[in-house]
Amino acid sequence: MIKPDDLKQSPILVSLMQETRAAFAERAFSRNISTGTTLVVEGMPAEYCYFIASGHFRVLHMNPEGRVQVIARLTPGLPINLISLLNKEKINLATVEALTPARVLILTTFDFEYLLTNFPDFSKVMLYVFAERLKNMTQLATGLSLYTVKARLARFLIELADETSPFDGWTQDEIAAQIGTVRDVVGRLLREFENQGLITRNRHRVVLLDRKGLTETANQID
């Protein structure tokens, strides 16, 4: 059983009205997730949506070859699989995996729709969340199309450095899946950046040395 006040932990749900949180808490149940668990599988019928109580997730697509593109990384508070529920086919549109131990609050499709229709502030908050995600997706798409891998990696490193809660499970494979390339290329470019004195690396952790220089390569087109 979930207590309404527990939901105040969530940076998203906290902005709901008291009664909305109560209705949410009444219907949701919670579940613990261990690292690496696949919470949602693309192509399967969509039955639930989730709200992250704690932990990190990644949303991804895979092509027939097995190459992966990460669509989004989700942090506590954010919803999972809403879009699948809102699309009338009700099929999971992407795969979602836990990157850390995590806990999620689960709603059935039915309860989710109930909240949506009866608690206006709920759908309004979701709208803001979607706007944010749409912005990120746009950046991802335009990055992939209009900038080189080098520029995308430079951007990624800068954003990473600015992150408030640094996640440090970044393997080269992870980075590659994030910026839309393969491991080998990431390795090569990191070496190149290191030789140029833009970064240093010790123990799988990248440290920016020359932020301005990196910003330049992030905008380079040649």
Partner DNA sequence: ATCGGCGTGTGACTTAAGTCGTATGCAGGG
Partner DNA sequence: CCCTGCATACGACTTAAGTCACACGCCGAT
Interface with a copy of itself (CB under 8 A): 61-65, 67, 69, 71, 82-83, 86-87, 93-94, 116-117, 120, 123-124, 126-128, 130-135, 137-138, 140-142, 144-147, 180, 219, 221
Cβ contact 103:54 at 8 Å:
yes
Our finding on whether 129 is near DNA (CB under 7 A) is no
Residue 201 sits in the site that holds DNA (CB under 7 A)? yes
Exposure of 43 by Cβ count < 10 A (0-12 exposed, 13-18 middle, 19+ buried)?
exposed
Is there binding between residue 216 and DNA (CB under 7 A)? no
Choose from DNA, a copy of itself, none: what does 133 bind? Cβ within 5-8 Å by kind: a copy of itself
**Calpha distance 214→154 (Å, rounded):** 6
Distance in angstroms (rounded) separating the CA atoms of residues 181 and 198: 21
At residue 59, φ and ψ (nearest 5 deg) are -105, 130
86 vs 182, which CB is nearer to DNA?
A: 182
Size of the site for DNA (CB under 7 A): 22
| End-to-end CA, the chain | 57
Instruction: Give the nearer residue to DNA in terms of CB position, either 65 or 89.
Output: 65
Q: In the bound complex, what is the minimum distance in angstroms from residue 64's beta carbon to a copy of itself?
A: 6
* Side-chain half-sphere exposure of 45, counting CA atoms within 13 A: 3
Paired tokens of 181: 């390339």
CA distance 72 to 25: 26
Give yes or no for residue 65 binding DNA (CB under 7 A). Answer: yes
Rounded Cα–Cα distance for residues 57 and 80 (Å): 9
Nearer to a copy of itself, 25 or 71 (CB): 71
CB 13 → DNA: shortest distance, Å?
A: 33
DSSP designation for 8: G
Residue 138 is which amino acid?
T
> Which amino acid type is present at position 14?
V
Partner from DNA, a copy of itself, none contacting 141, C-beta within 5 to 8 A by type:
a copy of itself
Supply the minimum distance, in Å, between the C-beta of residue 134 and a copy of itself.
5
**Residue 87 binding DNA, by CB under 7 A:** no
* Of 19, 132, 184, 216, the one binding DNA by CB under 7 A: 184
Q: What angle do the packed helices 149-162 and 211-219 form, to 10 degrees? A: 140
Q: Which residues bind DNA (CB under 7 A)?
A: 65, 67, 148-150, 171-173, 180-185, 187-188, 190-191, 201, 203-204, 222
